[in-house]
Structure formats: structure tokens, C-alpha cells
Amino acid sequence: MLQVNNIEVCYLGVIQVLRGVSLEVGDGKIIALLGANGGGKTTTLKAISGLLKTEEGEVTSGNICFDGKRTDKYIPEEIAALGISQVMEGRRVLEHLTVEENLLVGAYLRKDKNAVKRDMEMVYNYFPRIKQMRSRTSGYLSGGEQQMLVVGRAMMASPRLMLLDEPSLGLAPQVVQEIYEIILRINTEQKVSILVVEQNVQAALEIADYGYVMESGKIVMDGPANKLKDNEDVKEFYMGLSTVGERKSYREVKHYRRRKRWLA
């Protein structure tokens, strides 16, 4: 469905952030893009959704294709119309609008009012908590409720591919589990492909089919999710676990040198 082919991304024409990134998202699959903060994961999502242009960034080499169409020169509205929805990091709700008004914003490009109404009920089915708050101003929702709202808003665009940027950020473990269970249901029941960016490696790999690990603007490792979960480097650098299963302190992990093959 989605092919990112050896792309390089620069901001302001001089700051190179991505260096030859390639990845694929198959139809109906969940793909995890993992790595530490600042590695280029969010930039990759913005390159796919066209949002780079709003930040004076551009794909300077390589290409991005969705269903065989080259999209890296499209504007965000055109990409959204093809069926790609991005959920931004940080729960970007429209705080002054109600829950239901936020959801309707997600359906802005759609013309079939009956289908929009049907999908509104579908979203409420997945997130019954926000249905109870449909008339509440969204800025007063909790962090978990706001995350549910922005995922639901993305669903209102009737996407074929959802780009999720750090959906677990700042949430309690129980809420993270609930949201990831719903993401998995959306994937299996609605046949929506998902590319999820995460620092919470454990949560992402639990539901993913395949994963990519990104460091300093490059893909340094990829493989089936179950193999990445068992990989000693992934455990060491991203789960904070030693080979004997003991959790290391952040100080130890922070100063631990990356394997030379990761820097090649």
C-alpha cells in the first residue's frame, strides 16, 4: 500500500534530517517505527502526510508512493483525500470545540452526510467514553480521553492508512493498553493499515506485524515484530533490559555505546 523509497529530507534547504529512509506498509498491516527521541520518526510521518511543507521541509531525494501513485509532491489535502490520516503527537484537539465538533472536523473532506453520521456512531462504538462527553468542550477532557478523541477524529476521514505519532505519550499504563487494544480492533475490523511511531517499544511491538528501528535519520534494523521483541539490541537500547532480564537505569542505558554495526 505504502512505499517509502530511499528518501532524504531537508529543512530550510540545509538541515538534513532523514538519510535514505525506506519502509513499506502492506495492506491491512500494522507497522511500528521505533527509536529514541530525535531520530527522525515524526519527520518520516510528516513526509508521508505532506505536512513537511508547513515547516519549510521537503523530500529532496527518493520518493513516496501510495497505491502506485507518487505522493511526495502532493499537498496535505490531496494526500488526505487519498485515504491517509495522521494523528499528531501531543493530542492536538481543538480545545474550544466540543467532542462532536472535533469529530466532524475529521470528516471535512467528505460529502456523504449519511456515511459521516454512520461513521460517527462507529467511532462512538469504539470509544464509548467520549460518546458520553459528546457535548463537552474537548479542552476539559483528560489526556487519555483526548487521545481517544484524536484517533476517532482521524477515523472520521474514512482512512485506509492511519499514521499514529506516539499514541502512548504521557498516558498511564492502563490507558495505553486500552488505546492499543482499540487500535488493534480498528485494524482488524475496519481493515485500516497503521504505521505507528513509538518510543514505547513494548506496546507497539505487541500489536505490530513488522517493525523498523530508526537512529539519527536512518533505518538501522527491521524485521518481524516477534523477532524484534526478542532481539538483544532492542531490549538493551529501547526496553532498558539486560540479557538476564534486569531493568537497567536510564543513566546506564544513556551512556551505553551503540553497536558499531548500528553506526555503519
Tell me, what's the pLDDT at 26?
Answer: 96
- Residues contacting 215, CB < 8 A, separation 6+: 35, 36, 39, 258, 262
User: Does 262 lie in the same domain as 138?
Assistant: no
User: Does 235 lie in the same domain as 225?
Assistant: no
pLDDT at 28 over 70: yes
172 is in which domain, residue-wise?
Answer: 2-230
pLDDT at 200 over 80: yes
The total number of residues shown for the chain amounts to 264
User: Does 245 lie in the same domain as 157?
Assistant: no
Q: What cell does 34 get?
A: 521505533
User: Does 235 lie in the same domain as 215?
Assistant: no
User: Does 259 lie in the same domain as 245?
Assistant: yes
Tell me, what's the pLDDT at 89?
Answer: 86
User: Does 211 lie in the same domain as 235?
Assistant: no
Report, as an integer, the average pLDDT of 187-211: 94
pTM: 0.87
User: Does 46 lie in the same domain as 150?
Assistant: yes
Tell me, what's the pLDDT at 256?
Answer: 43
The percent of residues in the chain predicted with pLDDT above 70, rounded, is: 90
User: Does 235 lie in the same domain as 161?
Assistant: no
Q: What cell does 174 get?
A: 492502563
User: Does 130 lie in the same domain as 259?
Assistant: no
DSSP assignment string, 1-64:
-EEEEEEEEEETTTEEEEEEEEEEE-TT-EEEEE--TTSSHHHHHHHHHTGGGGGTEEEEEEEE
β-sheet bridge partners, residue 25: 2
Side chain identity, residue 204: A
User: Does 211 lie in the same domain as 185?
Assistant: yes
Mind listing the pLDDT tens digit for each residue in 29-64?
999 999 888 889 999 999 999 999 888 999 999 999
Q: How far apart are CA 147 and CA 91, in angstroms?
A: 5
Mind listing the pLDDT tens digit for each residue in 165-182?
999 888 889 999 999 999
The domain that contains 12 carries what CATH number?
Answer: 3.40.50.300
Tell me, what's the pLDDT at 97?
Answer: 95
244 versus 92: the higher-pLDDT residue is 92
Number of compact structural domains in the chain: 2
User: Does 195 lie in the same domain as 250?
Assistant: no
User: Does 151 lie in the same domain as 108?
Assistant: yes
